[in-house]
Amino acid sequence: MTDSTKAKAVVLLSGGLDSATTLAIAKDRQFDCYALSIDYGQRHTAELDAARRIADAMNAAGHKIITVDLTAFGGSALTDASIAVPTASENTGIPITYVPARNTIMLSLALAWSETLQCRDLFTGVNAVDYSGYPDCRPEFIRAFEAMANLATKAAIEGDTLTIHAPLIDLPKKDIILTGLALGVDYNLTVSCYQADAAGRACGVCDACHIRRKGFTDAGVADQTRYRSEPGT
């Protein structure tokens, strides 16, 4: 339900822990939130199902799922079924789960929707601390995209500039979790795993599972994530 007294914001919502926390932060900052999820051909749709649940539970003003087929390019374990998803211990440097240009594409779509909604605030859950080494999760990237957006849009040229909010960018995972819990986020609704099954159960061994599990441990909070296997099994 929309609220005409509030400023609008587009929030990128993957269905994972970070994006759910970001949506909660945007709502806490009194934005009327329009959630945007991207079906880019990822290995599973469980996270998109999670995004629907989260948007509904948090009473988003709107929720769109846009399809962009990045399997046409491949180059990532998340968009090419012939490339195995590595375990956390196998990752060195920028991992094979990096999807070329993914955040650039997602932010561009969010930018397009923000213009049509006539809103000038965009939220993304990128994180440069407990992250997987992706170059498009860095503060430099967010600043550069914001600068580009304010050069490339009709609204900005007419004086209505855009702000990209990345409230999690400097937070370790434990602080993200504690922030979300304080704002009432139900992390049982979220899916972070790179290769979750159709029921949303996490593999327990990929990098995303490792980071998520460690975050709950560091936060001193019980991890209620449904894992198919434990580390070492």
pLDDT, tens only, 186-220: 999 999 999 999 889 999 999 899 999 999 999 99
CA-CA distances (angstroms) from residue 117 to 2, 8, 90, 204?
Answer: 12, 8, 43, 39
Instruction: Assess if residue 226 is contained within a domain.
Output: no
Residue of 166, 53, 159, 37 lying closest to 105 (CA atoms)? 37
Q: How many domains does the chain have?
A: 1
pLDDT, tens only, 63-84: 999 999 999 999 999 999 999 9
DSSP-assigned letters across all residues of 15-60? SSHHHHHHHHHHHHTTEEEEEEEEE---S-SHHHHHHHHHHHHTT-
Q: Which domain holds residue 68?
A: 7-219
Instruction: Assess if residue 231 is contained within a domain.
Output: no
Instruction: Assess if residue 127 is contained within a domain.
Output: yes
Question: What single DSSP character describes residue 189?
Answer: G
Instruction: Assess if residue 63 is contained within a domain.
Output: yes
Instruction: Assess if residue 229 is contained within a domain.
Output: no
Q: Compute the residue count for the chain.
A: 233
Domain of 36, CATH number, reads 3.40.50.620
The residues near 174 (Cβ < 8 Å, ≥ 6 apart) are 215, 216, 218, 219
Output the pTM of the full model: 0.93
pLDDT, tens only, 105-138: 999 999 999 999 999 999 999 998 866 678 999 9
The structure tokens listed for 83 are 């490339």
Instruction: Assess if residue 225 is contained within a domain.
Output: no
pLDDT at residue number 228: 83
Instruction: Assess if residue 164 is contained within a domain.
Output: yes
The residues near 40 (Cβ < 8 Å, ≥ 6 apart) are 67, 68, 69, 70, 79, 99, 102, 105
Instruction: Assess if residue 172 is contained within a domain.
Output: yes
